[in-house]
Structure 1
Amino acid sequence: MKKEIRVRCWIDLDGEKFFGPGRAELLELIQESGSIAQAARQMGMSYKKAWAMVDEMNTRGRKPFVITQKGGQQGGYAEVTETGRKVVAAYQKMNKRLQAVVDKNKDLLKLL
């Protein structure tokens, strides 16, 4: 029997999920690729869903997380803002701390 302790953390705003592992990954992939569509493909989700996630973060957050520029000769692009980068970094730091707590308490599994 495989036993493990898993922790997933979400940030709620007004009682609704706002930011979590999926959105952190989406922002990381947008930053790497410069494209919401490409980030969505890499995550196996539709562009529509990825855009809705970005739009919600931009609308409900204090400041936009992603800025976009529509097509043209150079094509469109998406860029994660400083706010978005800071949120991802803080979220990753928090998750590392949570994982350290979990790792220190693995003795609990022996009781199961």
Structure 2
Amino acid sequence: MKEIRFRCWINVDEEKFFGPGPLQLLQLIEELGSLSKAAKTMGMSYKKAWDIVNTLNSKASEPIVLSQKGGAKGGGAEITEKGRQIMKSYSELNKKIETLLSEEKHILDLL
């Protein structure tokens, strides 16, 4: 089968900053309200998820994820407005790229 594939990443300071994995993590944090539940759902260690969130928060102009330490009711995490804007813009960018690629599938006929 022939197909065109892509993976779009946003780099900051020449390092991967935001891409498919962080997007999925943020979507799950927003849905589940918990970093640990989001990590578990993705089959990712809590430490790796925490490292991703720390990188996002430290390299963005404003925090993307806010977390609360556990207590009687347990901890939690929420996506900030800036985080939702990044998620939306990145998703829209991916849709535009997918549209462009679907318009260029004729290149596969040349192979």
Deviation at 1:87, TM superposition (A): 0.1
2:59 aligned residue: 60
Aligned to 2:78: 79
TM-score by length of 2: 0.98
Which of structure 1's runs of 4+ aligned residues deviate more than 3 A?
none
The one-character-per-residue Cα deviations of 1:5-53 (angstroms, maximum 9, x if unpaired) are 0111000111111110100110000000001111111111100000000
Structural RMSD (CA): 0.6
Where in structure 1 are there 5+ consecutive unaligned residues? Answer: none
> What is the DSSP-based 3-state SS (H/G/I as helix, E as strand, rest coil) of the residue aligned with 2:74?
coil
Matched, 1:26 2:25: yes
- Percent identity reads 51
- Check if 1:51 corresponds to 2:37: no
1:59-102: per-residue Cα shift (whole Å, max 9, x none)?
11100000011111111010000000100000000000000000
Helix, strand or coil for the counterpart of 1:97? helix
- 1:77 maps to amino acid: G
Aligned to 1:12: 11
Structure 2: gaps of 5 or more residues: none
- TM-score with structure 1 setting the length: 0.97
Match of 1:107 in 2: 106
SS at match of 1:18: strand
